[in-house]
Homo-oligomer: A and B are copies of this chain.
Amino acid sequence: MKLPSFAVIGAGNGGQAMAAHLSLMGFSVNLYNRTYEKLIQILNNGGIYLEGPTNGFGEINKITDDIEEAISNVDIIMVTIPASGHSDIAYEMLPYLKSGQIIVLNPGRTFGAIEFYNIIIKRNDIDVTISETDTFIYACRSNNGVAKIYRIKDVVSLAAIPSWRTNYVVNLLNLAYTQIIPAENVLVTSLNNIGSIFHPTPTLLNSARIETTDGNFQYYLEGISPSVAKILERIDKERIAVAHALGVNAVTALDWLKETYGSHGDNLYEAIQDTDAYRGLSAPKTLECRYIFEDVPMSLVPISSIGKQLGIPTHTIDSVIHLASCMHEKNYWKIGRTAQKLGLEGKSADEIRNIACGVKEEITVA
């Protein structure tokens, strides 16, 4: 049997680690990055050095800033760029996609697969499967052709549109990652996006500290104090309520810590303090970071926007979106994934579920 070939889209921390790891596992891998500078050292070396669970040099098949070259003739396209770039990269890929290809958003944040799907279906001459994970599989750092994987998550959920293709995608990916399991649909992966809880709000509530210390404090252990954790719990409740309205039994942040890291605690603050994996993790060095520019528009805005449509109040999420918008002098409501932009405006929970599952609307003939 021929192994599937991969393209990794984005040579950031995650993309370099993934490309090197896939290569060392024996897969053919192309690596794409929009800016050429990030690729120069990798091009000079012909691949990426990896430290971590696997050590070695991962040779890369094609290292390119040309999207056509990157994705032509590969089976699986692993997107590792920030979700704020999903829409742009979808349009860039669009002319070069071929039937049978699989796109995986690692992760989709909230409603990434739906956003991507809406763009890909403009090509009605091809049949491509779009899917998203609920979280990124690695904890890793990469720099100029040297990647380090600190940890591979035990379990990563994935769902495809249409949802009946999820098992097919999971089976293929299991050739590389046995950690990937199927989720019911992309609403489940999107609403279990735990970054929506742990990324934007602690960053906002430590904004002066980040700016005046260059992030020189422990993000989780010092940045999430009892009061910050109380605000996170409120945001988590709002996320869970929106998920519930969509028929998704999302896992709470507290249970997620217990399940993912075996942490103990009666509340979020205690469980975070009890999470060994968070020891030594520093804050972002600046406020121009993914925790804001990705997670506010691509995680919090869609939860809030769909919440409003379904009558679920999200005052705490809205407050964080608004303050982050003031801070960055950007309107994240406008930039973000709203119901309207996702093509979900005015849809009921059932209709949204059908769209997420890829159910074609029935044409009723009177």
Contact = CB atoms under 8 A, between A and B. Distances in A.
A209 B224 CA distance: 9
Given A319-B322, A319-B323, A208 B225 contact: yes
Nearest to A224: B208
Interface stretch (A57-65, A89-97, A131-139, A199-207): A199-207
Interface stretch (A23-31, A177-185, A227-235): A227-235
A208 B224 CA distance: 6
A231 B319 contact: no
A227 B228 CA distance: 18
Given A207-B228, A227-B208, A228-B208, A234 B326 contact: yes
Given A319-B322, A323-B231, A326-B231, A209 B211 contact: no
Contacts of A287: 227
Number of copies: 2
A329 interface: yes
A222 interface: yes
A205 B231 CA distance: 12
Query: Which of A209, A211, A318 has the most CB atoms of chain B within a 10 A radius of its CB?
Result: A209
Contacts of A143: none
A205 B205 CA distance: 4
B211 A225 contact: yes
Contact of A205 (B207, B222, B224): B207
Query: Which of A205, A227, A322 has the most CB atoms of chain B within a 10 A radius of its CB?
Result: A227
A322 B320 CA distance: 10
Nearest to A210: B225
Interface in A305-334: 315-316, 318-320, 322-323, 326-329
19 contacts: A204-B205, A205-B205, A205-B206, A206-B209, A207-B227, A207-B228, A209-B209, A209-B217, A211-B225, A211-B227, A212-B217, A212-B222, A227-B287, A230-B327, A231-B327, A315-B322, A319-B319, A319-B323, A320-B323
Interface of A: 202, 204-212, 217, 222-228, 230-231, 234, 287, 315-316, 318-320, 322-323, 326-329
Q: Rank and list the top 5 A-B pairs by shortest CB-CB distance, nearest first.
A: A319-B319, A211-B225, A208-B225, A227-B327, A234-B326
